[in-house]
Amino acid sequence: MALKYLMDENVDPAYPTQIRRKCPDLVIRAVGEIGTPSLSTLDPEILLWCEDYNFVLVTNNRRSMPVHLTDHIAQSHHVPGIFILNSNLSIGQNIEELIIIGQCSYEQEYQDQIIHLPIT
């Protein structure tokens, strides 16, 4: 089963647009879209949403996300994973990474982990 991605609100909107265009079978949502957390939702609440709906969070938030994940796990919660985009890669390279990972990974492979792209 392919992974499902939730794009953090600070991620360039080109990511969900291009991933949907290149790989329409991959489920991708962005914070602020219908059925997702609203814009300005705090990170701990976004992690709860990801847990409830089984979405991997894609973000560029390197600084506070480790703290939020540690707190989340300490409260006996889990998250399918958090992927940190690489600012040294182009948007296209990050997108290709996300597509490959999304199609080739198994469910819970990245549970409770923060993964920094690239991994391929």
Range of the domain at 81: 4-116
Number of domains in the chain: 1
Please give the share of the chain, as a percent, with pLDDT higher than 70.
99
Candidate from 4-8, 67-71, 87-91, 105-109 with smallest mean pLDDT: 105-109
Kindly report the backbone phi and psi dihedral angles of residue 29, in degrees, each rounded to the nearest multiple of 5, phi listed first. Answer: -130, 160
What's phi and psi for 82, nearest 5 deg? -135, 125
| pLDDT tens digit sequence for 75-115 | 999 999 999 999 999 999 999 999 999 999 998 999 999 99
Residue 114: both structure tokens together = 């923060």
- Quick one: which of 37, 116, 50, 115 has its CA closest to 80? 50
Give the domain CATH number at 63: 3.40.50
